[in-house]
């Protein structure tokens, strides 16, 4: 089973809406959640966002995101622990050098980073190479709109917690980075396939990519499934989310399968359906 970098990063990246984005509704009594799957970078041509999601903007009580990346509070990640240079073999370091050169990344600087941060730098550089812009990401654009419209913004986690999650990955993310540099060409193809699947609304392909992106059980639980459980618990709490309409933007992989957030909310008594075609 392949274990590529987008499994780690998609939860933190927000995909812009394309021709057939994934939108779900979860309803219980007078509480309605509308979910839009996401990735952190996009293009102007990805807009407007789907009407199945945006038609609820004017009546929404809040925009819910994983983390408010527009927050003025500066959060610095924990960079302690072993470095990329310490945890990659000589051959893997040679592969990283080739990759960093093609991405115009400073190889010597990558070596000093913890492995998880090196992985993020590789992924972000790859999305840039694919012509995607973080400032056109759907979460970034919707956060700007929410600020302008004075729509309340609620976080499921926050940037600080996300950095802590990454820093506490098994071996500081070394297994993920090692497989990334070893399987770089396949990763590039998978990222391109991911964009195409999103553009065409190919949910079968998205599910396949999600399955292929699984890591070890511990990493999967930390990155995806454990967080899904936490979010479903938070969203189903009437004290935190009383009657109202809420727009939710999270990484697309969090919405898939029987362990996805919509499926978990269904187990809490919500009526869940996909509303995008």
Full-model pTM: 0.88
pLDDT tens for 182-213 read 889 888 888 888 777 776 667 788 778 777 66
Residue 267 lies in a domain: yes
pLDDT tens for 126-171 read 988 988 888 888 889 999 999 999 999 999 999 999 989 888 988 9
Residue 81 lies in a domain: yes
Which residue did the predictor score with more confidence, 197 or 49? 49
Burial of 65: CB neighbours in 10 Å, binned 0-12, 13-18, 19+: buried
Residue 19 lies in a domain: yes
Q: How far apart are CA 210 and CA 252, in angstroms?
A: 9
pLDDT at 256: 85
pLDDT at position 2 over 60: no
**Which of 33, 16, 20 has the alpha carbon at shortest distance from 273?**
33
The count of structural domains within the chain is: 1
For residue 7, the SS3 value is: helix
Q: How far apart are CA 47 and CA 271, in angstroms?
A: 29
Distances (CA, A) of 83 to 88, 121, 164, 171: 9, 14, 16, 10
Residue 1 lies in a domain: no
CA 231 to chain centre: 14
Q: How far apart are CA 247 and CA 63, in angstroms?
A: 5
Ranges of H-type helices in the chain: 6-9, 51-54, 84-87, 90-103, 107-112, 115-129, 138-149, 159-167, 174-182, 184-200, 203-212, 217-220, 226-235, 261-267
Residue 46 lies in a domain: yes
Which residue did the predictor score with more confidence, 78 or 28? 28
Count CB neighbours of 217 within 10 A: 9
Domain that holds residue 15: 6-274
Q: How far apart are CA 141 and CA 216, in angstroms?
A: 33
pLDDT at 203: 76
CA 91 to chain centre: 30
pLDDT at 132: 86
């Amino acid at each position: 089973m392949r274990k590529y970098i987008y499994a780690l990063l998609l939860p933190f990246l927000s995909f812009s809406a394309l021709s057939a984005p994934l939108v779900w509704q979860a309803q219980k009594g007078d509480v309605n959640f509308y979910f839009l799957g996401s990735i952190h970078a996009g293009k102007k041509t990805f807009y407007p966002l789907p009407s199945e999601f945006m038609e609820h903007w004017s009546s929404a009580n809040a925009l819910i995101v994983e983390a408010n990346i527009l927050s003025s509070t500066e959060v610095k990640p924990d960079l302690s622990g072993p470095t990329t240079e310490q945890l990659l073999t000589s051959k893997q370091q040679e592969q990283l050098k080739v990759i960093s050169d093609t991405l115009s990344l400073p190889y010597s600087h990558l070596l000093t980073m913890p492995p998880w941060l090196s992985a993020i730098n590789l992924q972000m550089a790859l999305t840039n190479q694919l012509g995607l812009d973080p400032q056109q990401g759907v979460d970034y654009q919707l956060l700007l709109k929410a600020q302008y419209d004075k729509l309340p913004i609620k976080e499921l986690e926050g940037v600080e917690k996300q950095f802590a999650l990454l820093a506490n990955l098994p071996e500081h993310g070394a297994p993920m980075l090692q497989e990334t540099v070893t399987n770089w060409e396949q990763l590039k193809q998978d990222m391109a396939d991911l964009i195409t699947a999103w553009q065409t609304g190919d949910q079968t392909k998205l599910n396949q990519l999600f399955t292929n992106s699984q890591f070890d059980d511990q990493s999967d639980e930390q990155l995806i499934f454990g967080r899904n459980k936490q979010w479903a618990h938070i969203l189903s709490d009437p004290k935190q989310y009383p009657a109202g309409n809420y727009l939710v933007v999270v990484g697309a992989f969090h919405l898939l399968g029987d362990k996805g957030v919509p499926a978990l909310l269904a187990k809490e008594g919500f009526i869940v359906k996909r509303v995008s075609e």
